[in-house]
């Protein structure tokens, strides 16, 4: 399943546009009067329609949150990994079974290349913290399962 373009009616077009452009890195890919299309490359993800819309009553529900799954862009050079003897041009930080990336250095999460899932990062964090504290660990950082979501049958 893929969701297409999301359209939001907004009172402050420029302010809301700045939020999505600067925080999420979306680009302006089209503008038509008071409508602005934002996306990645040529793919539109969000259309903002600016206007003086009628304010809803505080007792009614409205859309307060949108979520976009964005790819991670690990910039290891910007993190200064070369100072720890790691390759700054690499896309991931390799770790051992205790999440050690080097002497006194641990890495967890999507930067390790083992999936950018919260449950994986939490499992890896537990392994790293136990190793840092010298406690017996729960196992290897490579043992975490993965999850998938699926659409209900139509």
The CATH number covering residue 21 comes to 3.10.180.10
The closest of 30, 20, 108 to 70, measured between CA atoms, is 20
Number of structural domains the chain divides into: 2
For 48-77, write each residue's pLDDT tens digit.
999 887 777 766 666 656 666 655 556 677
- On whether both 41 and 80 belong to a single domain, the answer is no
With a cut of 70, list the residues of the chain below it in pLDDT.
Answer: 1-3, 58-75, 115-116, 137-154
> Are 82 and 43 found together in one domain?
no
- Looking at residue 34, its pLDDT comes to 93
Q: Tell me: do 40 and 88 sit in the same domain.
A: no
Q: Which two tokens stand for residue 4?
A: 């297409």
Confirm whether pTM is higher than 0.85.
no
Nearest to 106 by CA among 70, 147, 137: 137
Domain span at 39: 6-50
The answer as to whether 152 is a domain residue is: no
The confidence score (pLDDT) of residue 147 equals 46
Strands (E) across the chain are located at 6-10, 27-32, 35-40, 43-50, 100-102, 105-106
Total residues found in the chain within this entry: 154
Distance CA 39, CA 41 (A): 6
41 & 81 share domain: no
Q: Is residue 59 part of a domain?
A: no
Partners of residue 105 on adjacent β-strands: 102
Look at residue 118 and tell me if it is in a domain: yes
Position 2 scores a pLDDT of 67
For position 28, what pLDDT does the model report? 94
Q: Is residue 153 part of a domain?
A: no
Q: Is residue 66 part of a domain?
A: no
Report yes or no on 34 lying in a domain. Answer: yes
How far apart CA 140 and CA 123 sit, in angstroms, is 9
The model's pLDDT over 3-17, given as tens digits with 9 standing for 90+, comes to 678 888 888 899 889
Residue 36 is predicted with a pLDDT of 95
Question: Tokens 């209900």 map to which residue?
Answer: 152
């Amino acid at each position: 399943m893929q969701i297409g373009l999301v359209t939001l009616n907004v009172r402050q077009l420029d302010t809301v546009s700045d939020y999505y452009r600067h925080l999420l890195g979306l680009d302006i890919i089209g503008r038509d009067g008071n409508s602005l299309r934002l996306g990645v490359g040529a793919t539109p993800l969000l259309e903002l329609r600016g206007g003086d819309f009628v304010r809803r009553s505080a007792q009614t529900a409205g859309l307060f949150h949108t979520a976009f799954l964005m790819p991670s862009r690990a910039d290891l050079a910007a993190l200064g990994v070369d100072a720890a003897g790691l390759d700054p041009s690499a896309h991931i930080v390799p770790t051992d079974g205790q999440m050690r990336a080097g002497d006194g250095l641990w890495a967890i999460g999507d930067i390790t290349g083992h999936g950018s899932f919260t449950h994986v990062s939490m499992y890896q964090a537990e392994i790293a913290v136990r190793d840092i504290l010298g406690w017996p660990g729960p196992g290897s950082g490579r043992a975490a399962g993965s999850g998938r979501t699926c659409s209900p049958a139509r």
